Amino acid sequence: MSERSEQSTRTYDFVAVGLGPFNLGLACLADPVDDLDGVVLESRESFDWHPGMMLEDATLQVPFMADLVTMADPTSPFSFLAYLKATGRLYPFYIRESFYPLRAEYNDYCRWAVDRLDSVHLGRHVEQVTWDEAEQVYLVRARCAGSGDTQTYRARRLVLGTGTQPAVPPAAQGLEGPWLHSSAYLEHRDRLRSGDSITIVGGGQSAAEIYLDLLEGIDAGYSLTWLSRSPRFFPLEYTKLTLEMTSPEYLRYFHGLPGTQRDGLLRDQKGLYKGISGDLVDTIYDTLYRKRVALGDVPTTLLTNTELAGARWDGAGFELDLRQHELDEPFGLRTEGLVLATGYAAQVPAFVEPVADRVRWDARGRYDVGLDYRVDEAGTIFVQNGEEHTHGLVAPDLGMGAYRSSVIINAMCGREVYPVEERIAFQEFGVPAGARRAVASR
């Protein structure tokens, strides 16, 4: 039987769309489960995690235990330590004495895992998902890269893990000229360095990594500006009691809050998961100091409290309209190169439209995601990393990926395949139950 005809008749327990680390982790954890038959579809023909930011010395912001599987199953053959052993680097990693893998190393680890999974189908661009009421299955139509043929996958459940897309601030939407998002930085680095001025917009980890990379080459003669609308270049808060907010207890607490309150909290909590690693902040300062000793004047400017209010391309450079919002004072800047390190945003993929009536939506048109990551009343559609507005800062956290996959697998199997921690934190995030009863009894 051909692969095309087999996919048309075979019914999977689930089809997962998108191959980021989260759906890859789901595939790894589902692999040894005999009564769970699933497939992951990915439009690209190989796994590549943020290739535009694969700087040689960049590390993860989470320890190696935040791999695809360890926090759900430390004995899994898909663990990062198993990868190191298989590639002959376990002892060198041990001697290195750092919990934080290189980003390129993590990417290679994920590729290693992909190569060991029959359930991952690369080069499959999902075009449409429909619901067959008679058969009670989803029909997932995918176009094959290379041949252009289409295949239809049948599944009882969907897992949507299409991830986030580069976000462009309103002031730069529709902007002409050779600006770039940080996601494409490495592809355009040489062109940026050949110009006479570069401006980076954004105050997070990617902006900081790009700034440091360009600062190291500033001897070539360009000027370098880094601006952030935040009041300072926030370090990522990584203290231990703060880390307890990446816990099942805080997740439940956050999920139970009203939607408007959750949105407000996310704005206030950016420094907890969208800040710059403290080591990187220190390295940037040390590099600035070293460059000043070597060069005297370093042609660089760092601006905080500065928002991009408008931008225009005149054929030779960009005219930026800026505002120092604490002073409420506008000013301008001209730059030849422009990098928007303005993050990513979740989007609902177009292929979901035919089954949109089966999905729960909130008042702002976002997935209304249940505590167990389901977005439909029937419990057949799950979301991975599209639930920041309902589950908070744990949604994009690699360290909570195995937890979420465990919850999803347990829900699909109707039993506890992987034990899920209910309580790990020392602190309480809501009103203690005993205190609430005492007040109510007065």
| pLDDT tens per residue, range 12-62 | 999 999 999 999 999 999 999 999 999 999 999 999 999 999 999 999 989
In a domain, 265, yes or no: no
What digits encode the pLDDT tens for the residues 182-226?
A: 999 999 999 999 999 999 999 999 999 999 999 999 999 999 999
Residues 179 and 325 in one domain: yes
Q: How does residue 439 score in pLDDT terms, banded at 50, 70 and 90? A: low
Q: How does residue 435 score in pLDDT terms, banded at 50, 70 and 90? A: confident
Tell me, what's the pLDDT at 8?
63
Residues 323 and 359 in one domain: no
Three-state DSSP at 308 gives: strand
Instruction: Identify any residues that bridge with 383 across adjacent strands, giving them in sequence order.
Output: 160
Residues 209 and 312 in one domain: yes
What digits encode the pLDDT tens for the residues 354-405?
A: 999 999 999 999 999 999 999 999 999 999 999 999 999 999 999 999 999 9
Query: Which among 168, 195, 190, 207 is positioned nearest to 336, based on CA atoms?
Result: 195
In a domain, 288, yes or no: yes
Three-state DSSP at 177 gives: coil
Query: Which among 377, 350, 337, 407 is positioned nearest to 184, based on CA atoms?
Result: 337
In a domain, 64, yes or no: yes
Residues 313 and 371 in one domain: no
Query: Which among 387, 364, 390, 394 is positioned nearest to 163, based on CA atoms?
Result: 387
Domain count of the chain?
2
The answer to whether 201 and 273 have CB atoms below 8 angstroms apart is no
Three-state DSSP at 385 gives: coil
Task: List Cα–Cα distances, 278 to 66, 168, 285, 341, in angstroms.
Answer: 19, 26, 11, 18
Token pair belonging to 441? 């009894």
Tell me, what's the pLDDT at 425?
94
Tell me, what's the pLDDT at 272?
81
Please state whether beta strands 318-324 and 164-166 pair in parallel, antiparallel, or not at all (unpaired).
unpaired
Q: How does residue 7 score in pLDDT terms, banded at 50, 70 and 90? A: low
Residues 180 and 145 in one domain: no
Identify the domain containing residue 217 by its residue range.
Answer: 168-236+274-340
Tell me, what's the pLDDT at 146?
85
Three-state DSSP at 121 gives: strand
Tell me, what's the pLDDT at 238?
84
What digits encode the pLDDT tens for the residues 60-102?
A: 989 999 999 999 999 999 999 999 999 999 999 999 999 999 9
The answer to whether 78 and 31 have CB atoms below 8 angstroms apart is yes
For residue 111, pLDDT over 50 is answered with yes
In a domain, 65, yes or no: yes
Based on its alpha-carbon atoms, the radius of gyration of the chain, rounded to whole angstroms, reads 24
Q: What is the value of pTM for the model shown?
A: 0.93
For residue 6, pLDDT over 60 is answered with no
What digits encode the pLDDT tens for the residues 270-291?
A: 778 888 999 999 999 999 999 9
The answer to whether 31 and 76 have CB atoms below 8 angstroms apart is no
User: What integer best gives the mean pLDDT of the chain?
Assistant: 94
